[in-house]
Amino acid sequence: MEARYRDAGLMQELRLGKPIEGATARIANGHVFVHMRTAPFQTYDCELSDQVGAEIRKLGGLIFAVTHAVNPADVSTMHDLDPVFARDRTLMGWVEIETSGS
């Protein structure tokens, strides 16, 4: 995986409750946005339901993962995500939700 994701704190082993330093997340207008604090400073977004947004706020964060293991367009069931967690082509981390303005 690209060094920029490792530099942000993403790892192959997920550490729940230990936020990575290289990203922040916020919820707005029915989407969650994860902003990378390291170059190239990309922002990733995903549509989410009110229920999922409420759960993310309750937990104070979310699991953010980058991978080359699957094509998101090919995911229709949870089983389709098995390769994401079974190979070394995935980096992930816990990203805290910004509390101000969310």
pLDDT tens for each residue of the chain, 102 residues long: 588 888 889 988 888 878 999 999 999 999 999 999 987 789 999 999 999 999 999 999 999 988 888 888 898 998 998 888 776 788 999 999 987 654
For CA atoms 55, 99, 9, 66, the dihedral sign is positive
Written as six digits, the tokens of 89 are: 């082509």
Please tell me the predicted confidence (pLDDT) of residue 100.
62
Written as six digits, the tokens of 60 are: 């104070």
Number of domains, the chain:
1
Please tell me the predicted confidence (pLDDT) of residue 7.
87
pTM, full prediction: 0.82
Q: Is residue 79 part of a domain?
A: yes
CB atoms within 10 A of CB 65: 16
Domain housing 27? 3-96
CB atoms within 10 A of CB 2: 11
Q: Calculate the CA dihedral of residues 66, 28, 75, 7 and round it to 10 degrees.
A: 0
Please tell me the predicted confidence (pLDDT) of residue 102.
41
Q: Is residue 101 part of a domain?
A: no
Q: Is residue 60 part of a domain?
A: yes
Q: Is residue 23 part of a domain?
A: yes
Q: Is residue 43 part of a domain?
A: yes
Q: Is residue 59 part of a domain?
A: yes
Collapsed DSSP state (helix, strand, coil) of residue 24: strand
Tell me whether residue 79 is exposed, middle or buried, using C-beta atoms within 10 angstroms of its C-beta: 0 to 12, 13 to 18, 19 or more.
exposed
Q: Is residue 102 part of a domain?
A: no
